[in-house]
């Protein structure tokens, strides 16, 4: 069979469900998910297969009005994802009161885009909204932009995702696969391991605290018996956050470590030991090296 292969960038507002969708299309966890906005910080590539077709899906940080340096770098990365793609998927959170509000700027930019890429629309979270509202939304978006197709999906529950995958596959040009058959992501395991810990922290911490955190895998040791030992540093940007992340008598960080270990053991199919250290680094958001690590542009 002739091989087909192409790159699809998934764009949308923060929290639209982009990472959830990519994990589902790929059939494996390649990008972390949380109920909070601004979870994905850099470009993450997930690789989906559909018969003889390989679809490289770029998960992007949500697009919003950035203020801080890190936010600017995240939004710049999202637009950079578009440049690399031959097809862009705009994902909308239909469960919002005003689903178009947070995508107004994205629509404007896509309208103007100098290098126009074909677009596909996916209305997400349809499990939470009435059908008539969806149809209105679909037609008003189609009036604004020229979408090659529109899908109504639930990335979380899977509804409509199979049809979307079939359609995406049908759009991919002839060409050799970019990745080996069994590869689901281009992210090195050390980075994915750090992301998984960050996801567990995001899910447990409240308000602004998660945004002041970053996780780095410091050491990765493979033992002869197959066990893996991972040491990670959780950087906090304020001294007062250290105690919160540690929890009473270290209870919080232990629980986060246990959750991360469990997930990594499933992914790696071996016994994992994980050690987490919490360190204060007030200005990690101004440290170019941290940006480099994630492929983010420090001066975006
Ligand atoms: N009910 C419902 N919830 C969903 C659906 N898809 C995603 N979610 C939830 O929406 C939240 C955000 O999902 P993510 O996949 O992290 O969203 P994202 O677009 O990647 O967000 P950022 O990385 O912050 O830009 C999570 O709590 C998901 O479980 C869906 O189809 N239905
Ligand atoms: Mg995400």
Are 159 and 25 in the same domain? yes
- What is the reported pLDDT for 209? 86
- What is the reported pLDDT for 161? 98
Residues 22 and 92: their CA atoms lie apart, in Å, by 14
User: Residue with structure tokens 């105690």?
Assistant: 243
Task: From 13, 14, 15, 128, give the residue whose CB has the most ligand 1 atoms within 8 Å, as the site to mutate.
Answer: 15
Is 180 within the bounds of a domain?
no
Closest residue by Cα to atom 27, ligand 1, is 35
User: What are the φ/ψ torsions at residue 204 (nearest 5 degrees)?
Assistant: -100, -20
Is 116 within the bounds of a domain?
yes
- What is the reported pLDDT for 116? 79
Token pair recorded at residue 35 = 């109920």
Enter the pTM of the model: 0.96
- What residues form DSSP beta bridges with 214? 235
Q: Could you give the number of structural domains in the chain?
A: 2
CA-159 nearest atom, ligand 1:
31
The closest ligand to the CA of 95 turns out to be: 1
Are 217 and 252 in the same domain? yes
Beta strands 87-93 and 53-59, pairing class:
unpaired
CB 85 within 8 A of CB 65: no
**106 CA to centre of ligand 2 in angstroms:** 16
**20 CA to centre of ligand 2 in angstroms:** 7
Are 161 and 220 in the same domain? no
Is 298 within the bounds of a domain?
no
- What is the reported pLDDT for 81? 94
**140 CA to centre of ligand 1 in angstroms:** 23
Are 16 and 162 in the same domain? yes
- Domain finish residue from 102, 137, 171: 171
- What is the reported pLDDT for 130? 87
Torsion of CA 99, 101, 103, 104, to 10 degrees: 140
Structural domain of residue 284, as residue ranges?
Answer: 189-293
The closest ligand to the CA of 13 turns out to be: 1
Residues 169 and 186: their CA atoms lie apart, in Å, by 19
Is 300 within the bounds of a domain?
no
Is 249 within the bounds of a domain?
yes
Are 219 and 148 in the same domain? no
The CATH code of the domain that includes 125 is 3.40.50.300
Is 56 within the bounds of a domain?
yes
Would you give per-residue pLDDT tens digits along the chain (300 residues)? 799 999 999 999 999 999 999 999 999 999 999 999 999 999 999 999 999 999 999 999 999 999 999 999 999 999 999 999 999 999 999 999 999 999 999 999 998 866 679 999 999 999 999 888 999 999 999 999 999 999 999 999 999 999 999 999 999 999 999 999 999 999 999 999 999 999 999 999 987 888 999 999 999 999 999 999 999 999 999 999 999 999 999 999 999 999 999 999 999 999 999 999 999 999 999 999 999 988 899 999
CB 14 within 8 A of CB 185: no
Judge if the beta carbon of residue 16 lies within 6 A of ligand 1: yes
Are 18 and 167 in the same domain? yes
Are 218 and 165 in the same domain? no
- What is the reported pLDDT for 114? 66
Residues 20 and 291: their CA atoms lie apart, in Å, by 24
Is 122 within the bounds of a domain?
yes
Judge if the beta carbon of residue 96 lies within 6 A of ligand 1: no
Are 218 and 276 in the same domain? yes
**35 CA to centre of ligand 1 in angstroms:** 6
The closest ligand to the CA of 78 turns out to be: 1
Are 36 and 127 in the same domain? yes
For the chain, the three-class secondary structure string (H helix, E strand, C coil) is CCCEEEEEEEEECCCCCHHHHHHHHHCCCCCCCCCCCCCCCCCEEEEEEECCEEEEEEECCCCCCCCCHHHHHHHHHHHHHHHCCCEEEEEEECCCCCCCHHHHHHHHHHHHCCCCCCEEEEEECHHHCCHHHHHHHHHHHHHHCCEEEEEECCCCCCCCHHHHHHHHHHHCCECCCCCCCCCCECCCHHHHHHHHHHHHHHHHCCCCHHHHCEEEEEEEEECCCCCEEEEEEEEECCHHHHHHHHCHHHHHHHHHHHHHHHHHHHHHCCCEEEEEEEEECCCHHHCHHHHHHCCCCCCC
């Amino acid at each position: 069979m002739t091989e087909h292969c192409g790159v699809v960038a998934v764009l949308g507002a923060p929290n639209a469900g982009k990472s959830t969708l990519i994990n589902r299309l790929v059939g494996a966890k390649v990008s972390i998910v949380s109920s909070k906005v601004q979870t994905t910080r850099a470009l993450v590539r997930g690789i989906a297969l559909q018969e003889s077709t390989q679809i490289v899906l770029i998960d992007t940080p949500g697009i919003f009005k950035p203020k801080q340096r890190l936010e600017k770098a995240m939004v710049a990365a999202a637009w950079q994802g578009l440049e690399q793609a031959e097809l862009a998927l705009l994902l909308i959170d239909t469960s919002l009161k005003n689903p178009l509000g947070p995508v107004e700027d994205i629509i404007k930019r896509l309208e103007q885009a100098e290098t126009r890429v074909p677009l596909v629309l996916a209305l997400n979270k349809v499990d939470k909204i009435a059908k008539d509202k969806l149809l209105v939304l679909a037609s008003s978006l189609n009036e604004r932009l020229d979408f090659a197709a529109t899908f109504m999906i639930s990335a979380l529950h899977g509804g409509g995702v199979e049809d979307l995958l079939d359609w995406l596959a049908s759009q991919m040009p002839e060409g050799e696969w970019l990745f080996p058959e069994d590869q689901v992501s281009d992210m090195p395991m050390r980075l994915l391991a750090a992301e998984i810990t960050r996801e567990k922290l995001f899910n447990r911490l409240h308000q602004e605290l998660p945004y002041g955190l970053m996780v780095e895998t410091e050491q990765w040791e493979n033992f002869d018996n197959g066990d893996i030992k991972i040491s990670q540093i959780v950087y906090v940007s304020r001294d007062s956050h250290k105690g919160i992340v540690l929890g009473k008598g270290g209870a919080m960080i232990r629980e986060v470590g246990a959750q991360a270990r469990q997930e990594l053991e499933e992914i790696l199919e071996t016994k994992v030991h994980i050690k987490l250290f919490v360190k204060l680094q007030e200005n990690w958001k101004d440290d170019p090296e941290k940006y480099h690590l994630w492929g983010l542009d420090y001066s975006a």
